[in-house]
Amino acid sequence: MRPGINSDQTERIIQALKRAGYQATPNRRLVAELVAATGGHFTAAELLERGRRERVNIGRATVFRALELLASLRVVERLDLPSGSHAYVVCDPDEHHHHLVCSTCGRSEDIADGELARLVDEIGRRNGYRIEAHRLELFGICPACSAADTAERETLA
Ligand SMILES: [Zn+2]
Ligand SMILES: [Zn+2]
Ligand SMILES: [Zn+2]
């Protein structure tokens, strides 16, 4: 097994494909492995780059197609970054949640609705809507990056 491969995550993605009636072709399996090895959000270009580094023979079109398929199954979710570009993040399609995304290192965490569910209902009610779905991603600086930033500033001071 190649280093950095998260086999549980890979299997989860493969199972989601099979459940939806798709075959786990070698190419899809490769993309699943590349996706599972990411530690946060990633772009198609980054997956290709990782593939090249690991000497995996996979084409650009294959990666794009597989990512689109995984996104349609909601195993990965497409993020619109504040910079205007797009990235993907590995996702759990079975449990409703949101993402906290670090703008510096790209790491991403899942967070539950909490108070948000009530607030969303309230917004719907106030406007006469029955809300059926919502999406929200939160972007910011993670604790590790905040600490690194503070340490750097103290060194400079
Ligand atoms: Zn998610
Ligand atoms: Zn960070
Ligand atoms: Zn929610």
Residue 15, CA atoms < 13 Å, CB-side half-sphere = 9
Contact assessment for residue 138 and residue 100, using Cβ atoms and an 8 Å cutoff: yes
Q: Domain containing 131: what range?
A: 95-157
Planar angle of CA 65, 72, 29, nearest 5 degrees: 50
Q: What is the CATH number of the domain that holds 135?
A: 3.30.1490.190
Burial of 59 (0-12, 13-18, 19+ CB in 10 A): exposed
Of 93, 110, 139, the one marking the end of a domain is 93
Q: What H or E segment, with its residue span, contains residue 67?
A: helix 60-72
Q: Is the same domain home to 66 and 100?
A: no
Q: Ligand 3 mean position to 69 CA, how many Å?
A: 23
pLDDT score at 1: 42
Dihedral (Cα; 36, 42, 45, 46), 10-degree rounding: -70
Q: Is the pTM here over 0.85, yes or no? A: no
Q: Per-residue pLDDT for the chain (157 aa), expressed as one digit of tens each?
A: 444 557 888 999 999 999 999 999 999 999 999 999 887 889 999 999 999 998 888 899 999 999 999 999 999 999 888 888 889 998 888 889 999 999 888 888 889 999 999 999 999 999 999 999 998 999 999 999 999 988 888 887 6
pLDDT score at 48: 93
> What is the C-alpha separation between 140 and 142, in angstroms, rounded?
6
Q: Ligand 3 mean position to 126 CA, how many Å?
A: 18
Q: Is the same domain home to 83 and 102?
A: no
pLDDT score at 5: 57
Q: Ligand 1 mean position to 100 CA, how many Å?
A: 9
Q: Is the same domain home to 55 and 89?
A: yes
**Cβ < 5 A residues, ion ligand 3:** 113
